[in-house]
Amino acid sequence: MIRDRNVRYNTKTAGRNALPEPGVNSLSYDSNHLPASPKLANLSRSHRLTDKSIALSAKTLSSLVGDFQINRFAHVRRTEELARQSFQPDEPIPCQDILCWIKRGTVQIRHSRHKYKIKSLSAGGVFGEMPLLGQTMLVTEAVAGPQGAGIAVMTSADAARWIRTDPISVIGLIGRKLAETEWSYYRSRFQRDDSRVAALLLNVAGNGTVIDGMTQEALGEKLAIYRETVNTILSELCSLGLIQTDKRKITILDKDLLKALSEF
């Protein structure tokens, strides 16, 4: 159990549904982050954690942090020259300006402010704050898992040597990530949710017209919007004749109109 001022979190369930313990009020700003002032009362109310916001945040951060696949680069698999560090259970793992490669045990990624679990990484997982390789921890931190963790550390100097030995692979990695980030930023900043949902449906369907096994919740997680918002949008698209929905199945009826909507 983690206690963070006004909220206690059940660490066993926080990564799954991130629910505050029943009977405990939602967390608002405190003096560690903003100076106490009556002027912040309204802001505090609007920034309180809710069950939905925690779960959505955890799912979104899970897809963005610790997704680096270093194992696909054969020449980096040799880690004899990389520094090694060992961490005891629950010990914080500093990862500023380094890339951490888990060689033993597990690492928990959690929200650095509210401490709810984001994801667990096992041996082979990679995380860290390494702008040179386009990697960031965002608002998360890493702690060693229940059995501790052994970490191989790639510094900025190590990364620079890697880039010199295989620049094409690294450019391919960073270039893809940059393009995805630019698209995500544009859509979240300038497009309405219905256009973003339309674009996602087209992307998931690919050359086909049927999307099987994807729930409204899963769609919402991919776009960082609530399931209720997705439900409203899908209902509207159905009423317009653009799609048809069944249980865990979406059929695109008019790709041209859906594409037009996705570009608004």
| Residue 175, number of CB atoms within 10 A of its CB | 11
The answer to whether residues 112 and 195 belong to one domain is: no
Considering the domain architecture, whether residues 80 and 149 belong to the same structural domain is answered as yes
Q: Is-contact 116 20, C-beta < 8 A? A: no
The verdict on 94 and 156 lying in the same domain is yes
pLDDT digits (tens, 9 = 90+) for 32-83: 444 455 655 555 555 566 766 777 777 777 777 887 766 555 455 455 677 8
User: Residue 58: inside a domain, yes or no?
Assistant: yes
* Cα atoms in the 13 Å half-sphere on the side-chain side of 174: 15
Same domain, 32 and 102: no
Verify that 201 and 239 share a domain, yes or no.
yes
Structural domain contains residue 210: yes
In a domain, 149, yes or no: yes
CATH classification at residue 147: 2.60.120.10
Q: What is this structure's pTM?
A: 0.61
In a domain, residue 171? The reply is: no
Residues of the domain holding 12: 2-63
For residues 82 and 42, membership in a common domain is answered with: no
Of 199, 160, 156, the closest CA to residue 180 belongs to 199
182 is a domain residue = no
| Tens-digit pLDDT profile for residues 103-146 | 999 999 999 988 889 999 999 889 999 888 888 898 999 999 99
Residue 215 belongs to a domain with what CATH number? Answer: 1.10.10.10
Tell me how many domains the chain contains: 3
